[in-house]
A and B are shown apart, each in its own frame.
Chain A
Amino acid sequence: MESLACVDVPALALQVLVARERAWRAEPVAVVDHDAPHGVVRWTNERARRAGVLAGMRYASALALCAHLRAATVEQAEVDAALERLATRLREFSPDVEPARAEPGVFWANLAGLERLHATRIAWAREVRTALARAGFEAAVAVGSRRFSTYAIAKALHGARVLVLEEPAAEDALARRVSLARLAVAPGARDELERLGVRTVGELVALPRESVLLRFGPELERLHALASGAVSAPLAPETVVLAPRAQVDLDFPLESLDALLLCADDLARPLFGELAERGQAARELALWLELESGRTLEERAQPAEPALRWSAFERLLRLRLERTRLERGAVRIAVELAGVRATSEQLRLFAAHPGRDPRAAQAAFAALRAAFGEDAVVGAQVRAAHLPEARFAWEPLTAPLAPPRTGPEAPLALVRRMLAANVQLPARSRHEEDGWMLRGVAHGAVARLLGPYLLAGGWWGREVEREYHFAEMQSGEVVWIYFDRRRRRWFLQGNVS
């Protein structure tokens, strides 16, 4: 007789939300698909349901019923992360864990062979439930011998408790009493069955299987077949695909950079083959050096493009390690590769401009990043703003460089060159016998002043009021200055050339 368990974490998205917004625990809470009045309520907690808020309602309607409703969206990534956490936690109790792909929050676990580890099956179930509760999830656990029955019973428990069924007959009988509303039956089919008076698993099983197929399609027919025992699905535990990783314990501490890299090379080479077999290339190589002192040093190298050869990483690692002082020699070296799907050929950039080598540029950028950190290479991104300093932003350069513009040269014009930071100018004197010496005596007085050009805005937040001028000094220098009306100070914004 098989021994397996079904673990059901109901309304997973809602549980994720409540875990995220801990202050909402005592409030009526709902998960919505959009944080907007037309958004649809997906899940609700008991308090919200008591206030009349039900799944399927518009958010606006829900708010009308329950003014204090707390609602938010939950991203799929958050749910995926929760599933990952749950699976990891469950693997601590059984090596064979199968998450239900079509029903996130449902897991099966194989209990066969675990008798020596856990006194009883109920003890196992309770431990699982307690462990999940510690992780912040409420779950129901049904232990039995039939895959469908444990599933149906776990869903019927609705996260409330654990149940262990020793007799297969009792297990089946109980499963047949489970309401179809508890199971993952498509709402349309569930409603039609409800209208026919078919409300439980047992009543569904009583219908002819081929008639169910004709009316409700293969999904429900499969449920029918599973419930009636006509077919059974063996447990298909998820295999955890680990990143290629290798490590070696050294016989004696290594301090030489060359020796360390040689060693890493030896470790990495077979990993590249492993990755290639998966149809992937390495986008990152992680290197751990466990030092004699007990400290572990971690370095990560990302080449300009994913690669399947050590040389693409060696130079980058060398640059990084050269900056690092190893107080003691390394006693353990580990290497891990992170892969991405490999393309047949990397995009060729700057093809139209033979004078530039885009590959070399990318390689140089990679070297700069390796030497000075990930944010070392930045590019100016134009911003739609009025203030000169807000019209662009420096952002890490991630995209390939754009090809140089072709076409006729723009006519020469005056160019404003902005200072990295505005410079406060001395307060203007009331009596300027020699004129306004805003750049000091060396540049002479202001010979000509153009302006004011006004910039005023941001009244909803940090209000700004500036009067801009172009000032030509007696020395011929042209400067770009402004008077800050709010601070009542003059500033130098830049020069004009």
Chain B
Amino acid sequence: MSAAALWCKSGYSFLEGASQPDELVEEAQRLGLAALALCDRDGVYGIVRAHKRAKELGLQLVTGTEVTLQDRSTLVLLAATREGYANLCQLVTIGRLRSAKGECAVAWEEVAEHAPGLVALWGGERGALGAVEEPRAARLLAEAFGDRLYALLARHRRDEEVPAEARLRERARRLGLPLVAAPEVLYHQAGRRRLQDVLECIRARTTLSQAGRRLKPNAEHGLKSRHALAQLFQDEPAAVARTLEVAQRCRFTLDELRYRYPSERLPDGRTSSQWLRELCEQGARERWKGEPPAEVRAQLERELALVDELDYCGYFLTMREIVEFCRARDILCQGRGSAANSVVCYCLGVTAVDPVRMGLLFERFLSKERAEPPDIDLDIEHERREEVIQHVYEKYGRTHAAMVANVIRYRARSAIRDVGKVLGLQESTLSRLVRPLSHGEGLSQRALADAGIDPRSREAQLLCELAEELEDFPRHLSIHPGGFLLGHEPVARLVPVENATMEGRTVIQWDKDDVEAVGLFKVDLLALGALNHLHRAFDLVRRHHEVELSLATIPPEDPATYDQICAGDTVGVFQIESRAQMSMLPRLRPRTYYDLVIEVSIVRPGPISGGMVHPYLRRRRGEEPVEYPHESLRPVLEKTLGVPLFQEQVMRLAIVAADYTPGEADQLRRDMAAWKKSGRIGQHRERLVERMQRKGIAPEFAERVFQQIQGFGEYGFPESHAASFALLSYAGAWLRRHYMTEFTCALLNAQPMGFYSTATIVDDARRHGLDVRPVDVRTSEWECTIPAPSAVRMGLSTVKSLSHSDARRLLRAREASAFTSLADLQRRSGLDTGALSALAEAGALEGFEDGRRAALWTALATKSVHQPSLFELDERKPEFAPLTRFEEIGWDYQRTRHSTRGHPLSALRAELAAKELPDARTLNALPHGTRTRYAGVVICRQRPGTARGVTFMTLEDETGFVNLVLWKKVFERFELVAKTETFLGVTGRVETQDGVTNLIAERLWRPDLELPNKDISSRDFH
């Protein structure tokens, strides 16, 4: 006789269960169980993963949860029907939404109200049926559930269970409840008991030696075979047999979720299909200024037919509605990712790239075989994304919209840290241990020894084993940056909803992969700083030049813009401003929009690891012939000179060369992305290579293609994604070339953008001839402004310690009338000492006082409660030494993180020259191979995973940038200086290739000079 495990909790019970859902399912199958019920605590977080695996193995999976009552007792609920599942989700939602994040509490009455379609198992350690006190809700539950209420016998070979079971049996007899055997399962095999103890300690924030009775007393919470279950309940065989009865009753599966996308309000009784078609037609006429080309028409028809067939019209209409909302509110947005492969998206205005002209692959976006919902990511200017999110909530209602979760999992470092704490290791020891570890790197003997832990000790052994086991386990639930789940019916009938940490946000219990796996639609609203920057620049151009610009109207293919791009002069230009991109630009020399698409894609781990960069560059420069392995592949690889650079090309390659269907090719793409984790890419190898050979493609090439595909697994851009981003890159570059002042001012106001600091942007602008003026309370606004052509006035927002509300008070007072003195400013604005001191130190009060020190002395006088106003101040003013230029720049950096008066090194240039240290401009002009010394300010440190330990740094002085390359050995030798020094000296050799100059470091040193300020920030190891 078989049996079912009816009370299993996985790692998705967050720090309780010690097995992954698929491990439980696999073990249940191996043990010959008929069914497994996954009942994670107060949720269904792990059910999708379990469902997928159970479906693959043919095991019955029962969907359930262990719900926590307000009296902290628990009840196991199993979904018998779709209605029951909806009730379960709604009940958990009620309990979750009324509780703090991470907690849940439902009332007995609420359980009874949601009883239809649910089976309840009552018992267990925290179940009220076996408790000492008589359960008050017994009758209520018995009436609500009827014969679907069971008394749960949970035996874990603990002596205290004996009296509890006696009470439970007695009450079950009185209530007429059948007994069902269901030990609590917390891990699939007893070997995971140690991890379960560790998780329990992490949850309780204690150590193993201190945990005491918080830990389970034995290892009896593993999944039991039917024989073991029969043995455990040999006195109650009927209770074991009844597990099958319960499983039989619970036939609901996630496949029954019939999701309907919320329908838009459609005009004049049109169907959503008709309305989508109309909008596409209308969009197409606007895009192509009349009837679109036949090729486009055909593609449009094909897409519309598929969208209609798959019943996805509502989704597209929603995306269009959101885009229209953004347009109406003047919020810049643009679809990214695979949506750019769709002509429907292009016609609806969701994306800005013509997929037909670009020859993009629609199947990358949507395919019938895949039967998965499309995924449209919409980039929105980041300062205004919240408006759009709130619009979605308002339009669909809080009940029909919730954000998608992001499950935060243990990575190597966090696992080592938490396991170490649980083992009682000192936090400082753990810091020493994990700090040197790179991302994903495990523990080594050396790392342990360096941290002062004996690698041979039992402690070290446990730390290594348990940290490895803990890796990838869910830690807690977070929120996806912008993913929304919208539902025709309340979302809480599909999946429980709970509070997010951020006020006003609710989040579902599934992450994006789960949502995708069960065929639900997700709307991604992502924040993009670059759009904010461009929007601000367009506004400034309109204000100062009366020129109306938009992403669509920027003149295309401007040679002057490309000249600037080819020179690597791209500070602040989206996607092509990084050190690596700047180095690539003079090599690739983009002259067209499509070159930019390639530029954006080529500096990625995928092409770099796949060894595609250099072949492409050589072919582009004509140093290597453009060859195709087979004539049939020419159309696929022609635009990238025979070298696959995009995901779509790999898919097409599989279609053309190995007869993959578009759907299979998309699966290949997915497997590429996950090959390291799943190893599924291996399944494709034989198929690809064999089929290519059959087509007459040489085996070496077939193998090479496969290696390239595997390389893509590291991460390659889809062409459509790169195409969308390249549009923004071009727009930014064009603005930089033609409206440098507005571009710079907008860039400064859009900070922080994450790449270059305000100081670097200001220095770059000054090098380009802009007159960047310092902050001045008499003229500065909150943001940076353009007071004259080719001039930027820095805004009050750059002054540290000056709040926006202080600045508003100051600006309001100034609006009434200009300030006549510092005392007048203080009296009318009411600014306190902190704000006035900040302004004084920033040099913003120099219009009133003779020097910053005098202004600061005056500002400090407002500190005393007896002297709230400078008006009545009558005292002898001491003489203060004027600031040197060196000090002035230092003060600027301390108070505003930049200086318009000069670069910190400009004040030291004479001394640097005396030490025969060249400036950046001179160094970049040195012949290849020259050995030299250089000193500059570090603005960026990077150590990409693809660079095999090489560290790249960008140094800066008043004349420009110097690219520094540190081989692994050099970095290790000078690690402390390399990591910590802001002002860095380098001895090395100049290497110039294709117009790009690098300084290959041999030695690093601290210059024997003091910078005016050491607080200059660099962007490190991002």
Contact = CB atoms under 8 A, between A and B. Distances in A.
Contacts of B878: 206-208, 211
A461 B432 CA distance: 24
Interface string A422-448: 000000000000000000000000000
A213 B861 CA distance: 9
A63 B876 CA distance: 49
Interface stretch (A99-107, A111-119, A177-185, A192-200): A192-200
Nearest to A468: B159
Given A65-B976, A67-B450, A71-B428, A197 B853 contact: yes
Contacts of A207: 878
Contact of A37 (B159, B215, B428, B881): B428
Contacts of A384: 212-214
B976 A456 contact: no
A260 interface: no
A26 B867 CA distance: 52
A214 B863 contact: yes
A385 interface: yes
B194 A459 contact: yes
B696 interface: no
B861 A460 contact: no
A195 B853 contact: yes
A173 interface: no
Given A67-B450, A195-B841, A208-B878, A215 B864 contact: yes
B427 A37 contact: yes
Contacts of B436: 67
Nearest to A461: B209
A386 B853 contact: no
A59 interface: yes
A345 to B, nearest CB: 39
A52 B980 contact: yes
Contacts of A456: 217-219
A37 B423 CA distance: 17
Contact of A210 (B158, B194, B462, B875): B875
A208 B423 contact: no
Given A211-B875, A215-B861, A454 B218 contact: yes
A89 interface: no
Given A215-B863, A457-B217, A35 B426 contact: yes
B164 to A, nearest CB: 13
A135 interface: no
B980 A385 contact: no
Contact of A214 (B157, B197, B864): B864
Contacts of B428: 35-37, 39, 59, 63, 71
A454 B878 CA distance: 83
A65 B980 contact: yes
A262 interface: no
A452 interface: yes
B235 to A, nearest CB: 12
Interface in A451-483: 451-457, 459-461, 468
Contacts of B976: 51-52, 65-66
Contacts of B193: 459
Contact of B979 (A64, A71, A385): A64
Contacts of B209: 460-461
B967 interface: no
A453 B217 CA distance: 10
A453 B158 contact: yes
A457 B218 contact: yes
B281 interface: no
B435 A64 contact: yes
A214 B214 CA distance: 59
B860 to A, nearest CB: 4
Interface string B899-943: 000000000000000000000000000000000000000000000
A110 to B, nearest CB: 37
A79 interface: no
Contact of A63 (B197, B219, B435): B435
Contacts of A309: none
A207 to B, nearest CB: 6
A193 B563 CA distance: 52
B423 A60 contact: no
A37 B217 contact: no
Nearest to B859: A215
B572 to A, nearest CB: 30
A454 B875 contact: no
Given A63-B432, A208-B878, A210-B875, A457 B215 contact: yes
A450 B980 CA distance: 67
Contacts of B325: none
Contacts of B159: 451, 453, 468
Nearest to A455: B217
Interface in B422-442: 423, 426-428, 431-432, 435-436
A214 B867 contact: yes
B866 A455 contact: no
Nearest to B891: A195
Nearest to B208: A460
A215 B860 contact: yes
A451 B157 CA distance: 8
Q: Which of A211, A455, A468 has the most CB of B within 10 A?
A: A211
Interface in B828-866: 837, 841, 853, 856-857, 860-861, 863-864, 866
Contacts of B157: 452-454
A296 B366 CA distance: 97
B241 to A, nearest CB: 25
Given A51-B976, A385-B213, A63 B856 contact: no
Contact of B861 (A66, A214, A217, A452): A214
B615 to A, nearest CB: 40
A461 B866 CA distance: 65
Nearest to B216: A457
B871 interface: no
B214 to A, nearest CB: 7
B856 A196 contact: yes
Given A195-B841, A460-B208, A59 B431 contact: yes
Given A215-B864, A384-B212, A457-B215, A196 B880 contact: yes
A212 to B, nearest CB: 10
Interface in A367-405: 383-386
Interface string A33-71: 001110100000000000110000001100111110001
B776 interface: no
Nearest to A206: B878
B379 interface: no
B631 to A, nearest CB: 57
B220 interface: yes
A249 B860 CA distance: 69
Contacts of A216: 860, 863
B831 to A, nearest CB: 16
A36 B212 contact: no
B217 A454 contact: yes
Nearest to A37: B431
A71 B431 CA distance: 13
A457 B431 CA distance: 28
B165 to A, nearest CB: 12
Nearest to A459: B194
A450 B863 CA distance: 79
B427 A35 contact: yes
22 contacts: A36-B427, A37-B427, A59-B431, A65-B979, A67-B432, A195-B853, A196-B856, A197-B853, A214-B861, A215-B857, A215-B861, A215-B863, A216-B863, A384-B214, A385-B213, A386-B212, A386-B217, A450-B162, A454-B217, A454-B219, A457-B197, A460-B208
Given A208-B876, A453-B159, 10 more contacts: A67-B436, A192-B837, A197-B880, A208-B875, A210-B875, A217-B864, A384-B212, A386-B215, A454-B157, A460-B208
The 3 A-B residue pairs with the shortest CB-CB distance, nearest first, are A384-B212, A454-B218, A453-B159
Interface of A: 35-37, 39, 51-52, 59-60, 63-67, 71, 192, 195-197, 206-208, 210-211, 213-217, 383-386, 450-457, 459-461, 468
